[in-house]
């Protein structure tokens, strides 16, 4: 006999995201952030670095020698929407009626291209269209001068102004210069030179330069891997990336899940796969049954908004989406937009409206206090990722709360309350 499915009242939620930058071992061992070098000094070092990475010296000097830092790029590093906005705000800003309509039109207009890419790579067209829509509004932002920036200048700015991640930015800068040196990009079609986002991501589906070098393909047969002006090349390159990172043809990303009343939130630990049969035995069923044609299919369960919010059964392909961008908000947006483009309705359980989320300082305080109590968060970075949610579940379970890994102001106050009766982890 099946368990009754719970309702979905309003709830509280914290911003949820996987860590983008490397985490710190512990709060106690945090060091002062490195101080950036003056841009002119750093720029000289970058020219030498690029030359050591198979970039012709003359090209490196021509591209970097007279550059100035871009202050808008540095400002953007602290305002990434998928890390600082409430989860539901980020998702709903990307999954709008206008974007759904535009995406369905693109699927119709480019039907032959999508069919050919599906046949070659085995990646569902609706997933590809969702990436395209989230990354560039189906190419619309590529014509927006307020958004598009010179890739070399952006990456040089980050390599010099973000010393904590300088090795990553330097590698991407050298990859961008190699693209220019080897005449890989269709510069004749881009009068402004190599263009991309503030972080150097390029083209319709926003490939970083190193990803372009590894995964971009020429699908339209013109001998150029053109992710900027060729929709077939951009979409096929994305499909090639996804397949190379483990996308399983014929499987979806998962589905929203409906939970029974009294469900044990600790079972939604994000890491334990169970077959659909096993989940059904626990009273869990997919809101979209078509997403699980095989009862033996395995999925993990996640509660990104806690026990009272939407729940999701995630197939292995969802982890591949996360490889594209490690933010949970981003991956859910792509997944849910693909469903809407397919014609499926929206979520059964709604997101909270008007709820206050933890600030960055509060999230760091929460991580620090959890670590001090012996609940390892994997570092203090202000981003509530899988390790912090696991620490939250352990803390909640130790004081008799539903162990859903959900951080809100009330739970932060419990953690701030000093020694209590909880059992410390062993």
Specify the long-range contacts of residues 187-192, CB closer than 8 Å, at least 24 apart: 189/226, 189/228, 189/229, 190/228, 190/229, 192/148, 192/150
113: Cα separation from own chain's centroid: 26
Which is more confident, 22 or 202? Answer: 202
Tokens found for residue 33? 């952030």
- On whether the CB atoms of residues 7 and 262 are closer than 8 A, the answer is no
Residue with tokens 């589906």: 205
Ranked by mean pLDDT, the top range of 233-237, 385-389, 408-412 is 233-237
Q: What is the mean pLDDT of the chain?
A: 87
Structure tokens that stand for 275 in this block: 């077959």
CA distances from 87 to 226, 324, 332 (A): 33, 18, 9
The pLDDT of residue 12 is 27
In the predicted model, what is the mean pLDDT of residues 191-214? Answer: 93
User: Alpha-carbon distance 196 to 135, whole Å?
Assistant: 11
Residue where the block lists tokens 């499915």: 5
Q: What is the pLDDT of residues 211-229, one digit of tens each?
A: 999 999 999 999 999 999 9
292 pLDDT above the threshold of 60: yes
Closest-CA residue to 123 (of 409, 360, 321): 321
* Domain 360-416, second-level architecture: Orthogonal Bundle (1.10)
CATH C-level class of 39-74+148-226? mainly alpha
DSSP state of 260: B
Q: Give the pLDDT confidence score for residue 13 in this predicted structure.
A: 28
The neighbour count for residue 258, using CB atoms within 10 Å, is 19
pLDDT score of 422 more than 80: no
According to the model, what pLDDT value does residue 392 have?
A: 95
Residues 252-282 have pLDDT tens digits of 999 999 999 999 999 999 999 999 999 999 9
CA distance 330 to 315: 16
Report the alpha-carbon distance of residue 179 to residue 184 in Å, rounded.
5
Split at pLDDT 50, 70, 90, the class of 84 is: low
Query: Which residues sit opposite 258 in a β-bridge?
Result: 285
Alpha-carbon distance of 14 to 18, in angstroms, equals: 13
Helices 386-398 and 360-372: crossing angle in degrees, nearest 10, is: 60
Q: Are 286 and 315 in contact (CB under 8 A)?
A: no
Confidence class for position 350, pLDDT limits 50, 70, 90: confident
Contact of 369 with 415, CB cutoff 8 Å: yes
pLDDT tens digits, 133-167: 999 999 999 988 888 999 999 999 999 999 989 99
CA angle 186, 189, 193 (to 5 degrees): 75
Grade residue 192 by pLDDT with cuts at 50, 70 and 90: confident
Q: What is the dihedral of CA 345, 348, 354, 360, to 10 degrees?
A: -90
The span from the CA of 191 to the CA of 143, in Å, is 12
pTM (2 d.p.): 0.86
Place of tokens 């998928």: 82
Show me where the domains of the chain are located: 39-74+148-226, 360-416
Count of Cβ atoms closer than 10 Å to residue 222 Cβ? 12
Is the four-CA dihedral 208, 210, 214, 220 of positive or negative sign?
Answer: positive
Averaged pLDDT, 97-103: 98
Q: How far apart are CA 16 and CA 27, in angstroms?
A: 20
Per-residue pLDDT for 420 more than 80? no
Percent of the chain with pLDDT over 70: 87
Identify the CA nearest to 291 among candidates 260, 253, 318.
Answer: 253
pLDDT at position 32 over 70: no
**DSSP symbols for 170-215:** HHHHHHHHHHHHTT-S-GGG-TT-SEE-TTS-BTTTTB-HHHHHHH
Could you say which DSSP state residue 95 is in?
S
Packing angle, helices 328-342 and 97-109, rounded to 10: 60
User: Stretch 357-376: mean pLDDT, rounded?
Assistant: 93
Confidence of residue 79 (pLDDT cuts 50, 70, 90): low
Summarize the confidence of residues 116-145 as an average pLDDT. Answer: 96
């Amino acid at each position: 006999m099946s368990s009754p499915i719970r309702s979905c009242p309003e709830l509280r939620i914290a911003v949820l995201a996987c860590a983008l930058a490397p985490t710190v071992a512990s709060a106690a061992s945090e060091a002062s952030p490195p101080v950036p070098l003056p841009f002119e000094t750093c720029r000289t070092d970058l020219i030498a670095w690029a030359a050591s990475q198979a970039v012709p010296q003359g090209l490196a000097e021509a591209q970097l020698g007279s550059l100035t830092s871009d202050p808008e790029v540095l400002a953007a590093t602290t305002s990434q929407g998928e890390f600082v906005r409430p989860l539901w705000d980020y998702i709903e800003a990307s999954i709008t009626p206008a974007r759904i309509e535009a995406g369905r039109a693109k699927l119709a207009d480019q039907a032959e291209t999508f069919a050919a890419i599906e046949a070659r790579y085995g990646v569902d067209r609706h997933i590809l269209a969702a990436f395209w829509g989230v990354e560039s509004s189906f190419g619309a932002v590529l014509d927006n001068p307020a958004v598009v920036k010179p890739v070399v200048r952006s990456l040089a700015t980050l390599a010099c102004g973000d010393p904590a991640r300088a090795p990553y930015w330097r590698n991407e800068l050298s990859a961008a210069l190699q693209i220019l040196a080897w005449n890989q990009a269709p510069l004749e079609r881009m009068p402004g030179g190599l263009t991309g986002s503030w972080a150097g991501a390029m083209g319709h589906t926003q490939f970083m330069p190193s990803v372009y070098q590894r995964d971009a393909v020429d699908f339209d047969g013109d001998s150029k891997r053109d992710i900027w002006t060729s929709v077939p090349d951009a979409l096929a390159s994305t499909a090639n990336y996804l397949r190379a990172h483990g996308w399983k043809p014929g499987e979806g990303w998962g589905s929203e899940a409906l939970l029974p009343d009294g469900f044990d939130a600790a079972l939604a630990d994000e890491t334990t796969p169970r077959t659909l049969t096993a989940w059904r035995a626990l009273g869990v069923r997919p809101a979209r049954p078509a997403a699980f044609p095989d009862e033996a299919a395995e999925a993990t369960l996640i509660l990104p908004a806690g026990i009272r919010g939407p729940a999701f059964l995630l197939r292995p392909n969802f982890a591949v989406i996360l490889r594209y961008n490690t933010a949970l908000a981003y991956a859910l947006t792509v997944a849910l937009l693909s469903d809407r483009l397919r014609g499926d309705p929206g979520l059964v359980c709604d997101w909270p409206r008007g709820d206050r989320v933890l600030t960055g300082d509060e999230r760091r305080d929460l991580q620090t206090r959890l670590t001090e109590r012996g609940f390892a968060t994997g570092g203090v970075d202000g981003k509530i990722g899988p390790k912090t949610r696991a620490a939250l579940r352990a803390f909640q379970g130790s004081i008799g709360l539903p162990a859903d890994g959900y951080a809100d102001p009330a739970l932060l106050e419990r953690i701030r309350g000093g020694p209590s009766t909880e059992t410390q982890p062993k």
